[in-house]
Amino acid sequence: MRFLERERATLAKLLPELDPALREVPLMELERPGSPGIRHFRDSGGPGLLVPEAHQGRGATALDALRVQRAIGSRSPSLAVATTMHHFSMATLVGLGDGLEWMLIEGVASSNRVLASGFAEGRSGAGTLDPSMTATVTADGIRINGVKRPCSLAHSMDVLTASVMIPREDGQGDELAVALVPAESEGLSVSGFWSSAFLAGAESEQVTLTDVLVPPELLLRTATTSGEQLDELQTAGLIWFETLMTGSYLGAASALVERVLLNDRIPEYERVRLFVETEAAMATAECVARRIDAGDLDESALAQALYVRYGVQDAIARVVPRAVELLGGLNFMTSDEVGHLAACANGLSLHPPARSRMTAQFSAYLADRPLAIA
CA atoms within 13 Å, Cβ hemisphere of 370: 6
Q: What is the pLDDT of residue 1?
A: 64
Mean pLDDT of the chain: 91
Picking from 225, 148, 224, the residue whose alpha carbon sits closest to that of residue 181 is 148
Q: What is the pLDDT of residue 334?
A: 63
| Integer CA distances (angstroms), 181 to 76, 117, 211, 263, 341, in order | 28, 10, 12, 48, 34
| Integer CA distances (angstroms), 366 to 30, 260, 300, 301, 305, in order | 43, 39, 11, 14, 15
For the cut 60, the answer to whether the pLDDT of residue 333 exceeds it is: yes
Residues with Cβ within 8 Å of residue 193, at least 6 apart in sequence? 149, 150, 204, 205, 206
Q: What is the pLDDT of residue 235?
A: 87
Q: What is the pLDDT of residue 31?
A: 97
Q: What is the pLDDT of residue 153?
A: 97
pLDDT-derived band of residue 105, with 50, 70 and 90 as boundaries?
confident
Domain 5-113 matches domain 118-225 at the CATH topology level: no
Counting residues of the chain whose pLDDT is more than 90, the rounded percentage is 74
Q: Classify domain 118-225 at the CATH topology level.
A: Butyryl-CoA Dehydrogenase, subunit A; domain 2 (2.40.110)
For the cut 90, the answer to whether the pLDDT of residue 38 exceeds it is: yes
Q: Mean pLDDT throughout 182-189?
A: 96
* CA–CA gap between residue 207 and residue 182 (Å, rounded): 12
* CA–CA gap between residue 86 and residue 53 (Å, rounded): 18
* CA–CA gap between residue 357 and residue 306 (Å, rounded): 12
- Among 215-229, 304-318, 348-362, the minimum mean pLDDT is found in 215-229
Picking from 224, 212, 204, 154, the residue whose alpha carbon sits closest to that of residue 179 is 212
For the cut 90, the answer to whether the pLDDT of residue 274 exceeds it is: yes
* CA–CA gap between residue 85 and residue 90 (Å, rounded): 9
pLDDT-derived band of residue 176, with 50, 70 and 90 as boundaries?
confident
Cβ atoms of 67 and 21 within 8 Å: the answer is no
- Note the pTM of the prediction, 2 decimals: 0.94
CB burial readout 57-87, b (16+ within 10 A) else e: bbebebbbbbbbbbbbbbbbbbbbbbbbbbb
Cα-to-chain-centroid distance, residue 167: 30
- Among 67-76, 89-98, 310-319, the minimum mean pLDDT is found in 89-98
Q: Classify domain 5-113 at the CATH topology level.
A: Butyryl-Coa Dehydrogenase, subunit A; domain 1 (1.10.540)
For the cut 90, the answer to whether the pLDDT of residue 96 exceeds it is: no
Domain residues of the chain, as ranges?
Answer: 5-113, 118-225, 232-366
For the cut 80, the answer to whether the pLDDT of residue 225 exceeds it is: no
Q: What is the pLDDT of residue 51?
A: 94
3-state helix, strand, coil in the chain (%, to 5): 55, 15, 30
Residues with Cβ within 8 Å of residue 307, at least 6 apart in sequence? 362
Q: What is the pLDDT of residue 328?
A: 85
Q: Mean pLDDT throughout 292-303?
A: 95
Tell me which CATH homologous superfamily contains domain 232-366.
Answer: Butyryl-CoA Dehydrogenase, subunit A, domain 3 (1.20.140.10)
For the cut 70, the answer to whether the pLDDT of residue 224 exceeds it is: no
Cβ atoms of 231 and 298 within 8 Å: the answer is no
Q: What is the dihedral of CA 273, 279, 281, 284, to 10 degrees?
A: -140
Residue type, 96: L
Q: What is the pLDDT of residue 231?
A: 74
Q: What is the pLDDT of residue 113?
A: 95
**pLDDT, tens digit, 9 for 90 and up, residues 307-318:** 999 999 999 999
For the cut 90, the answer to whether the pLDDT of residue 128 exceeds it is: no
Higher pLDDT, 89 or 122: 89
* CA–CA gap between residue 171 and residue 192 (Å, rounded): 40
